[in-house]
Structures are given as structure tokens and as C-alpha cells.
Chains A and B, each alone.
Chain A
Amino acid sequence: MTIRLNKEHVEEMKRHGERTYPNECCGFLLGIQQNGVNILREAMPAENEWKEKINRVETIDEALPAASRQEEVMKRESQKNRYWITPEQYRRADQYARDRGLGIIGYYHSHPDHPAEPSGYDLDHSCWPGESYIIVSIEQGRAARLNSFTKPDYESFVQEEVIVENT
């Protein structure tokens, strides 16, 4: 698989990752699919809605009175290393794309102080084959590498070709 995008898209995603650092940023890739190539027309920022309620702090908290535990869980598993895009945001982005004759062809997110490689968690929580998953690594607040991945099946991610056009 291949994704075509332009320099401005790359800059927008990198700047988004730098803005949210040390938290992860995330967003939608809007565009079209043509002959097995994903063509990006707009990188649309989304809100990272990763919250306590989906990382099951309640259970941990209830079982154990130690107040420090909740803090620890939040520290370890927070927006610093998690993102979540709610179905509501997806529906809004999908409508926005449809209105412009586009579709959601994938997603992007940042890895603060971590390589631009997908984690096992990324794979388990990603969607359909054929979509592009762009990861931007942000090192000490500065954007570094940008890679894109796709799923040939439900078992693995493979890196895909990124063609950056000048316009």
C-alpha cells in the first residue's frame, strides 16, 4: 500500500504532535482511495478523549484504597501514551468528509519520546485493512520521523510507502 500526501500535511501533523507534547495527538486522514493508493486531501485534528473512564481506574480504585494507585495508573496510562477517538467524533468527521466528496482513509497519532513504530496496542485497537495509520515521533517536544502503516489482514501492521508531493 501507498499513501500520497503533500508537505503541508506532514507539517500540520508534526505541529499537532508538538502542540500536544508530552501527550499524544490524534486525527483523521481524509481523502480518497484510488487503485490501492490512499490519497490524502486533509489531515483533520481530533481530540484525544482518552479518559479515566475507559482505562478502568474505577475497578482498581475500588479494590484498593491506596490513593497513590490511581495517580500511578494515570501517570502510566494517560494521554502521554494513549489516544482514543470516540465514535461521535468519527461520525462528525465522516459527515464532514462526505460533504466534500471524501472519506476517512486512515488516522494519525503521535508517539511522544518513542519511535514512529506501531505498538501491539495500536494493532489491537485499529480498524480495517486498507486504512493508513500515520505515526509521528516527537522527541523532547520536536517532531522527528513520520511513518505510515497499514494492515494487510487483522494480524499485523506493515510499513507502507509514503510519497510526499511538493504541492
Chain B
Amino acid sequence: MAVSILIPTALRTFTGGGDAVRVEATTVGDALDALVEKHPSLKKHLYNEEGQLRHFVNIYVNDEDIRYINKTATELKEGDTLSIVPSIAGGLTNIKEVAAGEVELDRDEILRYSRHLIMPEVALEGQKKLKAAKVLCIGAGGLGSPLALYLAAAGIGRIGIVDFDVVDFTNLQRQIIHSTANVGRPKLDSARERIAEINPHVRVDTYETALRSDNALRLFEPYDIIVDGTDNFPTRYLVNDACVLLGKPNVYGSIFRFEGQATVFYAKEGPCYRCLYPEPPPPGLVPSCAEGGVLGVLPGVIGVIQAIETVKLILGKGDSLIGRLMLFDALKMKFRELKLRKNPECPICGENPTVKELIDYEEFCGVTHTGEVSVGADFEITPAELKAKMDRGDEFVLVDVREPEEFAICRIPSSRLIPKATVPERLHELSSADEIIVHCRSGVRSGQIVEFMKQAGYRKVKNLVGGILRWSDDVDPTVPKY
């Protein structure tokens, strides 16, 4: 069939100025292929990098939008006219239309925020917006620490914090809102006191609870912006979904070892977390900071990027990270940026959402509570029993399945290092005739290895319950804990 395709003005440079192109085709898909074949430079203006029609491009056959007929399989008749029709939208990015008249700054505050007030991008109006703003931080850990400190200093009027942890010595290397004196106290108490020291004008609301599907909406409801400082997948999906359902922006950050990421997920204006990651990774594939470690300074960089984005959203200034994922590599000292696209088929923010309420995120992410494997009492040994065995001079092989870096920190005498990931290929080094005792830091990884060895036919294999941590508690306190 001979049909003609009307070319928009902006694309006529690619058709030699022609405002219509005639092609032979039986379906819309064929017609577009023929058009692009005739004028190859048109391709990148009709299709995105993934080969799909650009999101603003609509195709009409005569008077009808092909989406409502048969999409690109829509059949054509002799003399049909195809139109390439964009839909255009735009407007301001203004998260909060704060009626700045509702809040006032007193003399102390004017002095305190003077370096903001003299900048045209903030000024009195912007500082009042900050004061009227309500920001909820999920977690008072590595990311939450610098974030809450800077948001408080910047004059955010109300800061909420959700956390249920107590301060631990291992936190102090990076969680700078907490001090050594606060070890053992709830993180919320320590964070609240530190914020009050920095800026007594800030209202701090603390929520000592785990974020769950049955409380997330209620907790998020009073806040304008949610900032995600968590380190696990179930909570990330939960924060994302609750933000999409409530129409609130989610300022996202994550860290691992030397690398960090930050972006703003805001479904009304751009992609959400599920557009980027529709499915969670298989459980255990992505290690947490507790398992893999993290450079203590790194959350400073990422948490502060989250704080900056939060402030910009409130002020309505600058280019936000909506639709852009910042990647930071501290070893290379490089920032990179990826463009994120909204997925029209996203299960929660797409055109036909299937997720309409919060779900069970632990189940969704396949989390089995601790990853702990119960190997059965016959395959377990306590540190005290192990010590007794050593003292008796019993014959056995002690296998340490931790990483070499951990082995360098501390070890149990006579142990042999076979890191967990290398056990399958080095299994031949272990004789099933020997009695084998396996240990790691806390007993989780070694439990998995004992289970694996049982499957491989080893009968005389035992897991050291509680790992080297409990060895330090029960047998030898000179062994440092980490």
C-alpha cells in the first residue's frame, strides 16, 4: 500500500526538507521501518537507545492513535496518512509550595542563617521554606548521620528519624552523629541530643521502630521528603513503594566499600527505584556493609549529596538528581552519571500499576531471616567443648572459612584458612575420615559450609556455634572482636 507519513518541522532537516514522505507498507511497523531506511538519520529522533519509540512520540493513522488500534501491527490501507505526533508537557519542579508567610525567622535565626540569607538562591524566602519543610530520615547510621547533622544545621524545621538500633563500637568509624560516650544507648537518643546541640530551632521527632509495611504510610504521611539511608533491599523497596503511593520524593543513597550511589526517585516527575531495579537481587548476592565493609569517610560524601538534594528540592532550585544516578568511586576519585528512564511498565509507577498497596518486602526479596542454617545439634560444637578437645590433645582439623583480611585480625590457634567461596573447589584438601570443625566470625557462614559438606557426604563435620566472637567471650578474651 502506498501511504504518506507527515513529518514534523523539527525533523524535516533529516528528510531533505520534505514535509511528507511516501512509503509502501502494509502495517504501521513496516511504514516506520521503510521511513527510517529511506532517511536513516531520523532513527535516533524517533527511537531511544533501547530501540523503542521515544516516550513523547505518538503515531496516528488518519485520525486514530495506534495505541488504541493495534499498535505497530496496525494495518494500513492505500492512501492512509500517518502522523508523527508529539505530546508535550512541562512545568516547574516545586516540591513544596510553601506559603513562606506562614513561618517567620526571629533575630537569632536571622543571624544563624546569614550566609544563606545573602545568597539570592536561598534568601529570606528560601530560608523560610527550609523552616517550613518536614524531612524524614530512614536510619541514623552511616548515611543518616551526616544527613541529619547538615539538615539540622541548614535550618530544616522538622526532622523525623526512624531507627531502632543502639550505638555499637563498630558504628563509630563512620556514624559521626554518635559519640564514644553513647555506645550502648539508642541511636535515636544520641542523634536527638546532637541535633539539639547544633540547632535548637529544629523540631526532632524520633520513631523507635523498624520500618514495616503496616507503619510506613503513617510514618511518611506528615513529611514532605523521605531520605533513605538504609542498607537492605526489603527496606529500600518498602521506602520506594510508600513514597510512590504517597506521591513523595525519595532521596536515595547507598554505599559499599569504596563506592557510593545517589539519586532522587520521584515517580511524579521521573523514575522510581523499581524502574531501575524491577526485581531484587537473589538473597545473599549483594553483600551488606557488615559483610563487605565500607570506607568510613564514604557515607560522608553520599549522605551530604542526599542532604544537598533535599535542600534543593525544598528550595526548588537547580537541577535535581531526578532521573540521574550519581556513581562515586572513592578509590579512583571519580563521579559518573547515568541517565535513568521511567519504565512505562513499572509495576508501581507505570501506566498500569499492579502494586497498589504495600506488600511483604522480606518475602518479595526472598529474605530468610538471618541466613542462618540449622545444621542440627549433632553437627555443632561450642567454643568451650572445642577448648576441651584441644586441651585433651584430640585429633581434628579446624577450618576457618572467613576472608584473609579477617584472618589477619584474629584467629583460633591451629586453624586453617579456606575462605568460604573457595571451599567447593578445595574440598579435596579435606578428608571425610577426619573430624572437621568449621568456624567463621559469628557462625552463620560456617553453618552454611557445614550444611554444604554434609550434602557432600562428610559425616564428622561440626559448626563452631557463635564463631570466633563467642570464642572470645567464652574461652579467650585476648582475641579481639570486630
Contacts and interface: CB of A to CB of B under 8 A. Distances in A.
Interface of A: 24, 26, 32-33, 50, 54-56, 59-60, 62-64, 66, 69, 73, 75-77, 80-87, 90-91, 94, 97-98, 103-105, 107, 109, 111, 114, 118-122, 124-131, 133, 155
B245 A63 contact: yes
Interface stretch (B4-12, B71-79, B148-156, B276-284): B4-12
B95 A121 contact: no
A76 B45 contact: no
A87 B65 contact: yes
Contacts of B221: 66
Contact of B91 (A33, A105, A122): A122
20 contacts: A24-B91, A54-B89, A63-B217, A66-B221, A76-B96, A83-B90, A90-B86, A90-B87, A107-B88, A109-B91, A119-B93, A121-B92, A122-B90, A125-B88, A126-B88, A127-B8, A127-B88, A128-B45, A129-B45, A155-B339
B95 A64 contact: no
B214 interface: no
Interface of B: 6, 8-13, 19, 45, 56, 58, 60, 65, 83, 85-97, 217, 221, 244-247, 267-270, 316, 319-320, 322-323, 339, 349, 353, 356-357
Nearest to A73: B247
10 closest A-B pairs (Cβ-Cβ)? A103-B9, A82-B91, A122-B90, A128-B10, A125-B89, A81-B92, A63-B245, A127-B86, A84-B89, A87-B85
Contact of A126 (B90, B94, B95, B246): B90
Contacts of B269: 120-121, 124
Contact of B8 (A73, A94, A126): A94
Nearest to B348: A59
A59 B88 CA distance: 23
A123 to B, nearest CB: 8
A103 B89 contact: no
Nearest to B49: A154
Contact of A33 (B13, B83, B90, B353): B13
Given A64-B217, A66-B221, A119 B92 contact: yes
Contacts of A60: 245-247
A130 B89 contact: no
Given A63-B356, A120-B323, A87 B92 contact: no
Nearest to A60: B247
Contact of A127 (B10, B270, B356): B10
A63 B430 CA distance: 57
B353 A94 contact: no
B9 A62 contact: no
B94 A114 contact: yes
A76 B95 contact: yes
B107 to A, nearest CB: 28
Nearest to B63: A91
Given A118-B90, A127-B56, 19 more contacts: A50-B91, A56-B349, A59-B244, A59-B356, A63-B217, A63-B356, A64-B217, A76-B96, A83-B90, A84-B88, A94-B83, A103-B19, A105-B10, A120-B322, A120-B323, A126-B90, A127-B8, A129-B10, A133-B90
